[in-house]
Homo-oligomer: A and B are copies of this chain.
Amino acid sequence: MRRLAMDRAKRLLFGSFLSSSQSSLTPGPASSCFPFSPFSSEAPMSLYKFPPVTVETINPKVKRCEYAVRGEIVSHAQRLQQELQTKPGSHPFDEILYCNIGNPQALGQQPITFFREVLALCDYPALLDRDETHALFSSDAIARAWEILDLIPDRATGAYSHSQGIKGLREAIAVGIAERDGFPANADDIFLTDGASPAVHMMMQLLIRSEKDGILCPIPQYPLYSASIALHGGCLVLSEENQKEIVEFCRKEGLVLLADEVYQENIYADNKKFNSFKKISRSMGYGGDDLPLISFQSVSKGYYGECGKRGGYMEVTGLSSDVKEQIYKVASVNLCSNISGQILSSLVMNPPKVGDESYESYMAEKDEILSSLARRAKALEDAFNSLEGVTCNKAEGAMYLFPRLHLPQKAIKAAEAAKTAPDAYYARRLLDATGIVVVPGSGFGQVPGTWHIRSTILPPEDKIPAIISRLKAFHEAFMDEFRDQGVA
């Protein structure tokens, strides 16, 4: 996206060539942006020589970027996993449990059958012409696949779509949003994306002009967004009253509200309910013109947890049509998001309804996943709270626990000696002893001098008791090793 002044050093040659060009590789400055080619007679003859590319010569912004959930501890876990494969018995555990990232299907969660049926039919539409298909697929999945194919120009699931995504799928999503919120939604406001992350990047790229622009965000923040400047989560810490205050605050201060609403389906507290920021602001009487509001949604989270499908969307309201044209342009540079992800986004916003053949089995799968997550959250929360010097809030939604560690001074000193943050030290020791991968809280921008770890609640339910025993045994041994007169 960055334009180059070509009057200085050259570092790259972008090779390969359009085959059918007319008088193309002939000499002459051909564009003000790229005034010479290596074949140009007007290229300067003495080229500035660069050393080979090294970490010192790459973009320093890339070097500075940190991304805790896939950082050093995960690389270490991958090494251990490889060692377990090549040398079974080489560690005091026989598998690595990745609790560092909300990736439910990697830990055994099964996909929702209806969604996968529809995706398979859209991938191979020839199935729809065959009788045998009725024995293998539910009737509403078949009907839905036909509906979706009819929304796609030429039924071409292998074609680039409109840069915002297939119009008919956006219309279906708008219907789903309107049903959820009780306020209208417009297909033209929806940009389908490969998950929420690219949508966040797109908005950051659009809105951040220089290092002088700032972003307010709650702490702890999700490290994707200090990597890419942002934050993550559900809407559950937040009461409806908090949300109203935030809306007022943004209005008053002229801020753009970027609402990460990817956990809208993950709510375990009986008395809590998801309210989108759009619903809140509309119910306060504010219309589309009163507040720039971007809502992000993803197929990776929710009860469906389809991380590998890379689907999602953002709903952009309160920005003028010429600003939206600029977003369209940014979206166009990567052409479009993947069509399976687009289809899945429309499905999660329009799941089977009462009366559909799949409805009951769909609801059973959904309820089982959500109630199991609630049980796992409670069991792990209780386990953390039972540990010496550890306090852990209730998980009312999303997929994570964020226990605070009150570590002995001796442990903090040991971490210092190992040139690492105390929570990173704890996480590394936990991994080496148990195979459990968690993320140190210091990657989430926590209050300096406080130590946390973040763990998902996603390990399979039948493994939770064993995990808790391993965790307790590790923690006791750790505290015994470092116990001293005071705690931090």
Residue of A158, A195, A338 contacting most chain B CB atoms (<10 Å): A158
User: Is A284 an interface residue when CB atoms closer than 8 A count as contact?
Assistant: no
Q: How far is the CA of A12 from the CA of B201 in the complex (A)?
A: 13
Number of A residues whose C-beta is below 8 Å from B?
A: 188
Chief secondary structure at chain A's binding surface: loop
A-B contact pairs, 19 of them (CB 8 A): A1-B65, A2-B208, A15-B277, A17-B235, A18-B232, A18-B237, A19-B397, A20-B395, A25-B237, A30-B220, A34-B216, A37-B219, A58-B209, A59-B206, A59-B208, A65-B330, A70-B329, A106-B160, A308-B338
Q: How far is the CA of A10 from the CA of B212 in the complex (A)?
A: 8
Tell me how many chains of this kind the complex includes: 2
Closest to A51 in B: B254
Q: Is the CB of A9 within 8 A of B213?
A: yes
User: Is A333 an interface residue when CB atoms closer than 8 A count as contact?
Assistant: yes
Query: A160 contacts which chain B residues (CB < 8 A)?
Result: 101, 103, 106, 300, 307-308
Q: Is the CB of A156 within 8 A of B220?
A: no
Q: Quick check: which of A177-185, A386-394, A413-421 contacts chain B, the rest being far away?
A: A386-394
Q: Quick check: which of A113-121, A348-356, A426-434 contacts chain B, the rest being far away?
A: A113-121
User: Is A205 an interface residue when CB atoms closer than 8 A count as contact?
Assistant: yes
Min C-beta distance of A485 to chain B, whole Å:
24
Min C-beta distance of A261 to chain B, whole Å:
6
Q: How far is the CA of A275 from the CA of B252 in the complex (A)?
A: 61
Q: A18-B222, A39-B218, A258-B14 are in contact. Are A33 and B445 (CB under 8 A)?
A: yes
Top 9 A-B pairs, shortest CB-CB distance: A31-B445, A106-B159, A120-B124, A30-B219, A18-B233, A308-B339, A310-B338, A19-B236, A10-B214
Which single member of B1, B61, B194, B329 contacts A310 (CB below 8 Å)? B194
Closest to A112 in B: B158
Q: Is the CB of B25 within 8 A of A217?
A: no
Closest to A331 in B: B70
User: Is A90 an interface residue when CB atoms closer than 8 A count as contact?
Assistant: no
Q: Is the CB of B24 within 8 A of A237?
A: yes
User: Is A403 an interface residue when CB atoms closer than 8 A count as contact?
Assistant: yes
Query: A448 contacts which chain B residues (CB < 8 A)?
Result: 29-31
User: Is A49 an interface residue when CB atoms closer than 8 A count as contact?
Assistant: yes
Query: A126 contacts which chain B residues (CB < 8 A)?
Result: 113, 116
Query: A127 contacts which chain B residues (CB < 8 A)?
Result: 120, 136
User: Is A257 an interface residue when CB atoms closer than 8 A count as contact?
Assistant: yes
Q: How far is the CA of A446 from the CA of B59 in the complex (A)?
A: 29
User: Is A462 an interface residue when CB atoms closer than 8 A count as contact?
Assistant: no
Query: A108 contacts which chain B residues (CB < 8 A)?
Result: 154, 156
Q: A22-B391, A34-B221 are in contact. Are A106 and B307 (CB under 8 A)?
A: no
